[in-house]
Structure 1
Amino acid sequence: MKSGQIPLTLALAAALYLGDQVYSILFARDNAANFMHIVGGVCGTVFGFSAAKSRR
């Protein structure tokens, strides 16, 4: 992987995760804060990239 590129596995995992959360928002009534799960996933991804960048 070249520097500055997003890994394919990250893109696939994000698509599956977001798809599941959007499905839950639209069709499941489980009283879960699905939007907050999405925000948490974004925050975790940003933290992971920044932590990996600081180790180099």
Structure 2
Amino acid sequence: MLALQRRGVGSAAIAATHGVSHNTIRTQIRPLYRKLGVTSRAEAVAVAERLSLLDDAAL
């Protein structure tokens, strides 16, 4: 999900792509943000990039 968010894809579009609700995506993102110690999408992507958690092939 972070790779998609990195490309600017919104939660609603991610949900539609995966056939789940927007709330499901939000529920799955919340613990990820908590583990990364962030509160926003931009922070999450920045931290994930810094920690090399995102595959450049996902661009």
Q: Does TM, scored on the shorter chain, surpass 0.5? A: no
Question: Shorter-chain-normalised TM-score: which range?
Answer: 0.3 to 0.5
Q: What TM-score comes out, normalization by structure 2 length?
A: 0.32
Normalised TM-score (structure 1): 0.33
Q: Larger Rg: 1 or 2?
A: 1
**Structure (1/2) with the larger helix percentage:** 1
